[in-house]
Each structure stands twice: as structure tokens, then as C-alpha cells.
């Protein structure tokens, strides 16, 4: 007997000692809160929460993937304890809500008849389902059967609709859906989702660089739910007033309706609902997730910076913007002129973002007034560099620095700042992009008599928005195409007098498929001008890179942009992220907004201790091949809504807004032209009429 007791004690002691030593030797740092949280759970290891046992659930809670109320057995008591450990208020912890993503048009066609059990799951096991569309909803409502709270019902079109009030986020529907169409996520998770190959996406939505749910916001306009429409846009784009005015809408070139008819005027509908909100005098409320206590510094208050700040704020982090200019807005304020985007509108929009609790400091420049080291010591957890592209390229020709010569951004930003610049009578602008067009249209409004555009290639190759080129032409701008400036000639007082250029002709196509202009020998021509603006593109100003203590490892590309991963937007330094023109070189507002959101997603991963990585199958910049049709049936031609404009002679004498907003009637009519596409399905006009 004694032996047995001794023996068991001995064995126990040996095991205990070994384990004790092992726990020291093999110690892996773990957030101490994990153990604390685990202590608050029921400890049954039952797995009902969907995690492999209580420890796994605790890890998920601390990692932010699970909510305080994760434990099914523990109930509200455990939720309260967990919330206390995590420093969350259980009442405000972000609720999970279920949402069905497949809401396309008319059902995708059936591929085969199925007479087995009426359940999505069984059906899905056969070649992924009976529908032609491999992500499409099967419509047998397994999610409805799975829901214990009666929160899902089938709408007449056969798609499950979730009642957000009844939904408790228990995940039962998500688990029941074999096609991963219905999913349960928190607001933050939805705000930071990226388009992926397997998602239910209309072609326009795949194209939008900010990934706005276009068919949904159009459907909401159609149903008269204008507030809902604004909300849908705000899930992806906080600058809808600005985009509604200046976006060149790449989405519309992929609109399915455009295959048979004119594309839906997607952007004007955005402007319509956005203006409606502004003019209603009140702001639709925007909700933010509970504070996380993480702080992010944002350098540059242009669209990229504002978008990043907005999304970070909404998912609960604290964002502070540092801006070099006196006011926020970046190129929206200092590049794009008043007649395209009134400052009053811009101010209203930016105030909406700042109202969420975003801090900002203006008139402070990175590299001059502060550096990255000071941000790090101020305790910021991550930094977002969105300094834009503000350095004009030079032509590198003689006489470029004569009096009366300007560069594009310099000229526009000085006008934007309210500076008075003496305008010539005959002005030439060199370049074919948005900046050049904005310069000429501004010059006309400032009273120049003759305004020329001098461009190396032809009108077809001009990168500016087509509508803008037309508008400039209507306003009286003269174009000199196929003209390559060779020198600027000054008068005796050092003032610009003439521009000499060579005529060009189009030669062989180059690598990009554009025919390259080649100079015609001896075709020198002189143009009399007394003012000259060079607007041939701009590059980011990365002079702050001279800070070698902190930014030694920051990589700069050949085109002077900040090197980054195009999805995570992380730079070569892990805690520094970038986006917008600073990362890509001069691009579009909507691209900057999308980049701001992608960066916010990665910054969220970074500051919450997750791995910064792109989701598998991320779609950014690509299309899902099967969704691009050759043609669509059942489309009845209906002309696209015409954009109302200020008459030419009225607009060339003032900076009043030139493009106007659609009337409610034409907006609703326009929304009815949308085919409500999903991947394969769409609503033919015929069925809508019938």
C-alpha cells in the first residue's frame, strides 16, 4: 500500500515537474487576457460556439473575431464578465448581423431538374447546385429553417431577406447556407470587406475602384429609399458629393446595359442622392464601432487620407490627419476648380467626416514641421502616407522659367488659395490631362481672350475625361493637336512672347498600342502667347524621405511613388501604409478613396495584432470572366438621363457650378434603366413591364 502511494506521488511529482519546466522552456507569449477570458467561459469545451473548445473561443475573443457573448452555455452572465475583461461595454459591443449578398436580377437559369430533398444543402452537393450561376442562391431556404429567431423570410422574388431587428447574429444561417451567400458579419467586417472572386458582384461593382454596391444603391433610388441609397454608398465611399461631381465613372464603361443601349448613368444617380442629403439640411446618422484605443496618424488630407480616416474611425480606431495646406481636401480643394466642385459642397462633406471624431492639424508638413520619429514617439500605432502627387513635371525646354510661365498644380492651387494672378490675354496650356483642361477652363473664367491647348497626340489619346474636353471646347478653347513644344521665346523684359512647337504625325503603334507621334522635320511653328502653363503630369513629393533615421527602408519607385503592396497598401516599413496618388502616381479620386479603405483594412489588421494580408481570391483591378457578356437580351432602348448644364455664356463668366443635378423624376426614371445585375442574372426590361 505504502509503495503504491509513494509510487503514485512520485509519478505525479515527475509529471508535474516536467510540465512545470516545459511551460517555462516552451513558453510562448500569449495575451494574458486570453486566460482571463477563458476563465469567464463555461468551460464545457462543447464547441457550440463554433470554436474548437473554450481556449480557442477565448483566443478568438481577444483577437477580435468573436464577440463577448460567444459562449452559448454561459449566456449573458458570461458575456458580461468577458466584456469586463476586454474593457468593452457589452451593450455596445458590435452586433453581428446576417445579410444575403445574392440579390441579383431575375434568377439565373436552372441547369437541371431536381427532385430530391428540398434543401439547398442536398442540392448544392450536385455540381454546386442546379443553377447555372455557381454562387447563386438556390432558394430552398435552408437559412430560414436554420434560423431559430424567425429573422429570415423569403421575398417574392425568391431571395432570403433578413430582418435586422430580429437577427441576433448566431451564425446558424451562415452555417446552413451551402453556397456562402448568406453571411453573418459585424458592421466593421462589412466596411472592410474587399471584392473577391467568389462574391456576388455585378460588372459595374467589380469595376468601381472603391467597390461600391452599385446595383443596390440604384435599387434603393428606384424604391424611393434615398437615405438607404446614401448609406449604401457610404459603406464604400465617404466622398459621394465630390465623386458625384468629378468621377469619370469607370463603372459605366462596364455597365451591362451599355452592351445594347447607353449605360446607366450611375454617377449622376450618386450625385442625385448625395445632393438630396445635403439640401435636406440634416445629415443621415453614421454609426461607429466602439473605441479600440488604437491611434493612427494620417499624413495628407486629400481623398485618400480622408477615406482612410473615415473607415478607421468607423471601425473604432482613432485617426488624426496632418495636412500641409491651410485646409483639408487635397486636390479636391486645390486642384479641381470651384466651377466643378464648389468649396461649400466640399466643406460640408469634409465636416461630415470630421464630425465622426476625426482630429486634424493643418499647416503642418511632414519633413518640415514634424517627422515620422515624432509620430512614433507620440504613440501612434500606424501611419498612413497619402501626400498625393504635387510636383509638376517640367518640359525641360529653353525659356520655361520666363515670366508668365506657370506649372499646372502650382497655378491651380494658387487660384484655389485665393491668390490673384495676372492673367494674360492669349494663354497656352501644354498637356492633355485633367489638369490641363482645368487650367484652360479656369483661364477662360478669369478673362483670358484666347486659350489654347497644345498637346503632343490627338484628341483620342487625351487622358482627360471626355465630357470635360467637350465642355472646354464649348467654352471656346482652341486645340493644337500633334504639337510638341521645343522652346519658349521671351521678349526683352524676360516675359514670355511666343511658344515654338514642332508639328507631329502619327507613326507606328508603340508597346501600349497607341500610335507614337513623330516630329515632322522643319515644321517649327510659333504661337503668340503672353501666358504659358505646363500641365504634363505630376509626381509625388517624397522629399521627407531624407529622414534617414526612420525612413531609410522606405522604398521609392522609379516614378517617385511610394512602393507598396497594391492590396494591403503596406509599404516596405511594416507600420507605414500608403495610398492615393502618392502610391500610384497621378490617378483618380475614386481610386484614392478605394486605396484609403484598403489601407484602413490592413491598418486594422496591423493594430489589432493580426497578420496583414490580402484575402484569398481578391478581385481588385480584375473582372470575373464569366460575368462579362457579349450581349444581353430583353433590353428596350431608353435614352440615358441628360445631365443639365449651365448655359455656356452664363458659365464662362463665373465660377458657378457648371454641371447640375438630375431632377427627382429623371433620377427615378434612370434608376429603372438598371438591370439589377448579379453575376449571371439580370432583370430584362420585358419582365419589368409585364
Partner 1 sequence: MGDYIVLAISCILVNNILLAQYLGNCPFLGTSKKMETAVGMAMAVVFVLVMAGVITWIVNTYILQKYDLVFLQTIAFILVIAALVQFVEMFLKKSIPALYSGLGIFLPLITTNCAVMGVCLINMKEEYNFLQALVASFSYAVGYGLALVLFAGIRERILLARVPTPLQDTSIALVTAGILSLTFFAFKGMV
- We find the least distance from the C-beta atom of residue 184 to partner 1, in angstroms, to be 19
Question: Which entry of ligand FAD, ligand SF4, partner 1, none binds 58, CB below 5 to 8 A by partner kind?
Answer: none
Contact between 677 and ligand SF4 (CB under 6 A)? yes
Which residue has cell 445574392? 102
Contact between 209 and ligand SF4 (CB under 6 A)? no
Residues between 527 and 586 with contacts to ligand FAD, criterion CB under 6 A: 541, 544, 580-582
> Which of 305, 304, 441 is closest to 361 using CA atoms?
305
Which residue has cell 475614386? 590
Residue 445 contacts residue 655 (beta carbons within 8 Å): yes
- Which helix H or strand E contains 374, and what residues bound it? helix 372-377
Contact between 212 and ligand SF4 (CB under 6 A)? no
- We find the least distance from the C-beta atom of residue 158 to partner 1, in angstroms, to be 22
Considering only residues 367, 432, 517, 537, which one is a binding residue for ligand FAD as defined by CB under 6 A? 367
CB atoms closer than 10 angstroms to residue 291: 15
CB atoms closer than 10 angstroms to residue 528: 12
The HSE-up count of residue 318 (CA atoms within 13 Å, CB side) is: 10
Contact between 676 and ligand SF4 (CB under 6 A)? yes
Contact between 203 and ligand SF4 (CB under 6 A)? yes
Residue 424 contacts residue 528 (beta carbons within 8 Å): no
CA gap 124, 120 in Å, rounded: 6
**Nearer of residues 632 and 646 to ligand SF4, judged by Cβ:** 632
Question: Which entry of partner 1, ligand SF4, ligand FAD, none binds 11, CB below 5 to 8 A by partner kind?
Answer: partner 1
Contact between 388 and ligand FAD (CB under 6 A)? yes
CA gap 612, 620 in Å, rounded: 17
Contact between 589 and ligand FAD (CB under 6 A)? yes
Which part of the chain contacts partner 1 (CB under 8 A), choosing from 114-122, 166-174, 298-306, 495-503?
A: 114-122
**Nearer of residues 53 and 342 to ligand FAD, judged by Cβ:** 342
Considering only residues 299, 375, 472, 502, which one is a binding residue for ligand FAD as defined by CB under 6 A? 299
Contact between 22 and partner 1 (CB under 8 A)? yes
Question: Which entry of ligand FAD, partner 1, ligand SF4, none binds 587, CB below 5 to 8 A by partner kind?
Answer: ligand FAD
Alpha helices by DSSP H, 164-302: 172-176, 187-191, 203-207, 214-222, 226-234, 240-246, 250-253, 266-279
Which part of the chain contacts ligand FAD (CB under 6 A), choosing from 122-130, 418-426, 434-442, 470-478?
A: 434-442
Which part of the chain contacts ligand FAD (CB under 6 A), choosing from 14-22, 259-267, 298-306, 490-498?
A: 298-306
> Which of 308, 222, 314, 200 is closest to 269 using CA atoms?
222
Which part of the chain contacts partner 1 (CB under 8 A), choosing from 113-121, 330-338, 418-426, 667-675?
A: 113-121
**Nearer of residues 4 and 511 to partner 1, judged by Cβ:** 4
- We find the least distance from the C-beta atom of residue 182 to ligand SF4, in angstroms, to be 21
CB atoms closer than 10 angstroms to residue 610: 13
Contact between 416 and ligand FAD (CB under 6 A)? no
CA gap 402, 407 in Å, rounded: 12
Contact between 132 and partner 1 (CB under 8 A)? no
Residues between 215 and 274 with contacts to ligand SF4, criterion CB under 6 A: 215, 218, 255-257, 264, 266
> Which of 535, 304, 532 is closest to 438 using CA atoms?
535
Which residue has cell 479641381? 336
**Nearer of residues 33 and 638 to ligand SF4, judged by Cβ:** 638
Considering only residues 54, 187, 387, 667, which one is a binding residue for ligand FAD as defined by CB under 6 A? 387
**Nearer of residues 47 and 507 to partner 1, judged by Cβ:** 47
Which residue has cell 441628360? 642
Considering only residues 2, 28, 548, 689, which one is a binding residue for partner 1 as defined by CB under 8 A? 28
CA gap 364, 670 in Å, rounded: 45
Helix-helix angle 434-445:408-416, to 10 degrees: 50
Contact between 56 and partner 1 (CB under 8 A)? yes
Q: Indicate the burial class of 558 (C-beta count within 10 angstroms; 0-12, 13-18, 19 or more).
A: exposed
List residues bridging with 64 in a β-sheet.
Answer: none
Q: Which residues bind partner 1 (CB under 8 A)?
A: 3-4, 7-8, 11-12, 15-16, 18-19, 22-23, 25-28, 45, 47, 52-53, 55-56, 116-117, 121-122, 125-126
Amino acid at each position: 500500500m505504502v509503495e503504491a502511494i509513494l509510487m503514485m506521488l512520485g509519478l505525479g511529482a515527475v509529471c508535474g515537474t516536467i510540465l512545470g519546466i516545459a511551460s517555462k522552456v516552451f513558453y510562448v507569449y500569449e495575451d494574458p487576457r486570453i486566460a482571463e477570458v477563458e476563465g469567464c467561459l463555461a468551460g464545457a469545451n462543447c464547441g457550440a460556439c463554433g470554436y474548437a473548445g473554450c481556449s480557442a473561443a477565448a483566443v478568438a475573443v481577444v483577437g477580435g473575431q468573436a464577440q463577448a457573448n460567444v459562449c452559448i452555455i454561459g449566456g449573458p452572465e458570461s458575456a458580461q464578465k468577458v466584456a469586463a475583461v476586454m474593457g468593452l461595454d457589452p451593450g455596445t459591443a458590435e452586433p453581428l448581423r446576417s445579410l444575403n449578398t445574392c440579390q441579383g436580377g431575375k434568377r439565373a437559369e436552372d441547369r437541371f431538374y431536381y427532385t430530391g430533398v428540398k434543401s439547398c444543402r442536398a442540392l448544392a452537393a450536385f455540381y454546386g447546385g442546379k443553377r447555372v450561376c455557381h454562387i447563386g442562391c438556390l432558394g430552398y431556404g435552408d437559412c430560414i429553417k436554420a434560423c431559430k429567431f424567425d429573422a429570415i423570410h423569403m421575398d417574392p422574388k425568391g431571395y432570403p431577406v433578413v430582418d435586422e431587428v430580429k437577427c441576433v447574429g448566431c451564425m446558424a444561417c451562415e452555417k446552413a447556407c451551402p453556397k456562402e451567400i448568406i453571411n453573418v458579419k459585424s458592421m466593421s467586417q462589412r466596411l472592410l470587406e474587399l471584392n473577391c472572386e467568389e462574391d456576388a458582384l455585378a460588372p459595374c461593382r467589380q469595376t468601381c475602384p472603391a467597390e461600391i454596391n452599385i446595383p443596390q444603391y440604384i435599387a434603393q433610388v428606384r424604391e424611393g429609399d434615398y437615405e438607404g441609397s446614401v448609406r449604401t454608398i457610404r459603406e464604400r465611399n465617404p466622398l459621394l458629393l465630390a465623386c458625384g461631381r468629378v468621377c469619370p465613372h469607370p463603372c459605366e464603361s462596364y455597365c451591362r446595359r451599355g452592351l445594347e443601349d447607353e449605360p446607366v448613368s450611375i454617377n449622376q444617380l450618386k450625385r442625385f442622392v448625395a445632393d438630396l442629403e445635403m439640401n435636406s439640411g440634416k445629415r443621415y446618422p453614421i454609426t461607429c464601432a466602439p473605441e479600440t484605443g488604437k491611434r493612427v496618424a494620417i499624413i495628407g488630407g486629400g481623398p485618400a487620407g480622408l477615406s482612410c480616416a473615415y473607415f478607421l474611425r468607423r471601425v473604432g480606431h482613432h485617426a488624426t490627419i496632418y495636412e500641409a495646406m491651410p485646409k483639408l481636401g487635397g486636390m479636391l480643394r486645390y486642384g479641381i476648380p470651384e466651377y466643378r466642385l464648389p468649396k461649400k459642397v466640399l466643406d460640408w462633406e469634409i465636416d461630415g467626416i470630421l464630425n465622426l471624431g476625426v482630429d486634424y492639424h493643418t499647416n503642418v508638413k511632414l519633413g518640415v514641421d514634424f517627422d515620422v520619429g515624432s509620430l512614433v514617439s507620440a504613440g501612434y500605432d500606424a501611419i498612413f502616407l497619402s501626400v498625393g502627387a504635387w510636383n509638376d513635371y517640367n518640359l525641360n525646354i529653353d525659356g520655361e522659367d520666363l515670366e508668365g510661365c506657370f506649372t499646372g498644380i502650382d497655378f491651380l492651387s494658387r487660384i484655389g488659395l485665393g491668390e490673384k494672378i495676372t492673367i494674360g490675354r492669349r494663354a497656352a496650356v501644354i498637356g492633355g490631362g485633367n489638369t490641363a483642361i482645368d487650367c484652360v477652363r479656369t483661364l477662360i473664367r478669369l478673362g483670358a481672350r484666347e486659350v489654347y491647348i497644345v498637346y503632343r497626340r490627338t484628341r483620342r489619346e487625351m487622358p482627360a475625361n471626355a465630357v470635360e474636353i467637350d465642355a472646354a471646347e464649348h467654352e471656346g478653347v482652341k486645340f493644337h493637336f500633334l504639337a510638341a513644344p521645343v522652346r519658349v521665346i521671351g521678349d526683352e523684359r524676360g516675359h514670355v512672347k511666343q511658344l515654338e512647337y514642332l508639328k507631329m504625325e502619327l507613326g507606328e503603334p508603340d508597346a501600349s498600342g497607341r500610335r507614337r507621334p513623330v516630329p515632322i522635320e522643319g515644321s517649327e511653328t510659333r504661337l503668340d502667347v503672353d501666358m504659358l502653363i505646363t500641365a504634363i503630369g505630376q509626381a509625388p513629393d517624397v522629399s521627407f524621405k531624407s529622414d534617414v533615421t526612420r525612413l531609410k527602408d522606405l522604398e521609392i519607385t522609379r516614378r517617385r511613388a511610394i512602393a507598396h503592396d497594391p492590396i494591403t497598401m503596406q509599404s516596405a516599413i511594416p507600420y507605414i501604409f500608403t495610398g492615393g496618388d502618392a502610391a500610384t502616381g497621378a490617378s483618380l479620386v475614386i481610386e484614392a478613396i478605394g486605396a484609403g479603405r484598403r489601407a484602413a483594412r490592413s491598418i486594422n489588421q496591423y493594430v489589432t495584432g493580426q497578420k496583414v494580408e490580402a484575402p484569398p481570391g481578391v478581385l481588385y483591378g480584375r473582372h470575373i470572366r464569366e460575368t462579362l457578356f457579349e450581349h444581353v437580351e430583353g433590353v428596350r432602348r431608353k435614352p440615358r438621363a441628360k445631365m443639365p448644364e449651365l448655359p455656356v455664356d452664363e458659365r464662362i463668366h463665373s465660377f458657378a457650378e457648371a454641371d447640375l443635378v438630375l431632377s427627382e423624376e429623371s433620377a427615378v426614371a434612370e434608376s429603372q434603366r438598371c438591370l439589377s445585375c448579379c453575376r449571371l442574372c439580370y432583370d430584362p426590361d420585358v419582365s419589368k413591364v409585364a
